[in-house]
Structure 1
Amino acid sequence: MSGSLFDLTGQVAVVTGTSRGLGQYLARALARAGADLILTSRRKETLAPFAEEIRDLGRRAVELELDVRDAESITAMAAQAAESFGQVHILVNNAGCNVRKPAVDVTWEDWNLVLDTNLRGSFFVAQAMARLMIPHHYGRIINIGSVTSVFGYAGLGPYCASRGGVRQLTMSLADDWGRHGITVNCLAPGWFRTAQNSVLYENKEWVEYLVDRIPLKRPGAPDDLDGAVVFLASEASRYITGQTLLIDGGISTGAMRATMRPADADE
């Protein structure tokens, strides 16, 4: 397979939620593959250091303010993106949030915060970008889901609902926009340490519990997502749409042993 299938030179990618965390890793991977970037955050000033890093890679970078819970903010970002580069080829719908609580303690406001950000925000950002892509009959939309797009975990009711919704939304949009040359896929990370969940990884017992259930025996490292995001953004995935690609070390296999395994089984 030709390496050019993964070359993003000359393409423009919008990556939402790039002030920190996995959004920066995803954006960095696209830049290294050749893409110019539009970086977004609710506070534009937080993007300046990362934008300079992208420019140091030899790529163009534009910082734009975006609150995915605000319709006017989405519309304004899309207009500025079009003004900055003309055509947008790739969207990585990464902005998200979480509230960790037992289900009986989740408030109306908790639910709205998570669903409005992760699900409604993903839809309306995708819609705004699709309106820019349709006239060019080309686009790659990558919605960021989670292993919770296919699994449920206690204490994550709103989050699981939102990420399951992102998976279903991805399939619907793939069907809607395929005739316009736009592919829509869901990139679903498993357990990765991020700013949102770092406190969990300070608990040694919980980390051991988690790792025991991951067939590859470690949580995800941020650069484990690099190949997947470049693949879904590139020509290499041109006949793939409506799919959910799990990058989870295998935890979605079920992560439960049906028999006892001898301690020396791997030796």
Structure 2
Amino acid sequence: MTQTATFHDLKGASVFVTGGGSGIGASLTDGLMAQGAKVAFVQRSDATEFADEMEAKHGVRPMFLQCDITDTDRLKSCIAEASEAHGPITVLVNNAANDQRHASLDVDEDYWDWSMAINLKAYFFTCQAVIEGMRAAGGGSIINFSSTSYMMGNAGYVAYTTANSGINGMTRSLAREFGPDRIRVNALAPGWVLTDKQKELWVTPEGLEAHMARQCLKDTLAPQDMVDAVLFLASNTSRMMTGQALVIDGGVVVTG
């Protein structure tokens, strides 16, 4: 993790990250802790070893709560537990997702519901669960990870791209509804971030070459690029930005 900027207002902030113990989420936890934030995160798998690493690195321990985010009751209880420990959550990062590839004609109702539960439903209920605390604190920032995949019309994972499009719509509606409470809600749409998972499952020399040809900037995306964007959206530096989709993809898609 490389610290590229300091956001002083994040020191002591109560932050909740879904999927904060692996992949991009682990980098987010690391980056937010480096700013002095009090970070709680949920992860389906055991992230005790990662929490140990963060404690050794930062001198304080992130709050790890094991949770399958499709279990709404458990997810809400984790948010309540984090709020009790760290104070009302003022920064929520909805990062956890599953971009499993699938053929459209193979999708049945159970698979569709499972994908929506992970990639869209959990996002809404985490947002709902932090609203009252943010109101009491005088405001907050919600950051919903989306993806450029739906903007590009990518094939091969229609349930995932549908959910990501829904995240954008949900973000705009929540921003409008809770703006009077000084609660900002923005979406962050990464391009192809080369995490270890992506390298293991999807990256091929041919595929990466073709994708890089579409990027304006010819460097590959790294988790740190998402950390920097989240810090900006979490901080009061972006205090008048809400209802937006911030694309970080090296210039593949064009917005506006």
TM-score (norm: length of structure 1): 0.87
Match of 1:51 in 2: 51
- Cα distance in 2 for partners of 1:159, 1:33 equals 32
The question of whether the paired residues in 1 share the 8 Å contact of 2:38 and 2:86 is answered with no
Match of 2:31 in 1: 29
1:80 maps to a residue whose letter is E
Q: In 2 relative to 1, CA 4–208 (structure 1 residues): closer, same or farther, beyond 3 Å?
A: closer
- Cα distance in 2 for partners of 1:35, 1:147 equals 28
CA RMSD across the alignment: 1.8
Mapping for residues 86-97 of structure 1, pairs under 5 Å: 86-97=87-98
Match of 1:258 in 2: none
Mapping for residues 166-245 of structure 1, pairs under 5 Å: 166-198=167-199, 199-201=201-203, 203-245=204-246
The CA deviation at 1:31 is 1.3
Match of 2:154 in 1: 153
- Cα distance in 2 for partners of 1:110, 1:219 equals 32
2:190 maps to a residue whose letter is P
The question of whether the paired residues in 2 share the 8 Å contact of 1:6 and 1:236 is answered with no
Match of 1:20 in 2: 22
The CA deviation at 1:153 is 0.2
The CA deviation at 1:196 is 4.5
The CA deviation at 1:195 is 4.9
1:191 maps to a residue whose letter is W
The question of whether the paired residues in 2 share the 8 Å contact of 1:25 and 1:223 is answered with yes
The question of whether the paired residues in 1 share the 8 Å contact of 2:7 and 2:35 is answered with no
The question of whether the paired residues in 1 share the 8 Å contact of 2:16 and 2:92 is answered with yes
SS in structure 1 at match of 2:143? strand
TM-score (norm: length of structure 2): 0.91
Q: In 2 relative to 1, CA 149–176 (structure 1 residues): closer, same or farther, beyond 3 Å?
A: farther
Q: In 2 relative to 1, CA 6–229 (structure 1 residues): closer, same or farther, beyond 3 Å?
A: farther
Deviation readout 1:150-177 (Å, 9 max, x if unpaired) = 3310112111100010011100111111
- Cα distance in 2 for partners of 1:225, 1:82 equals 25
- Cα distance in 2 for partners of 1:107, 1:218 equals 38
2:99 maps to a residue whose letter is N
1:20 maps to a residue whose letter is S
Match of 1:250 in 2: 251
The question of whether the paired residues in 1 share the 8 Å contact of 2:168 and 2:187 is answered with yes
The question of whether the paired residues in 2 share the 8 Å contact of 1:149 and 1:188 is answered with no
Give the % identical residues. 36
Report the count of equivalent residues: 249
Matched, 1:8 2:10: yes
1:14 maps to a residue whose letter is F
The runs of 5 or more residues in structure 1 that have no matched partner are 255-267
The CA deviation at 1:41 is 1.0
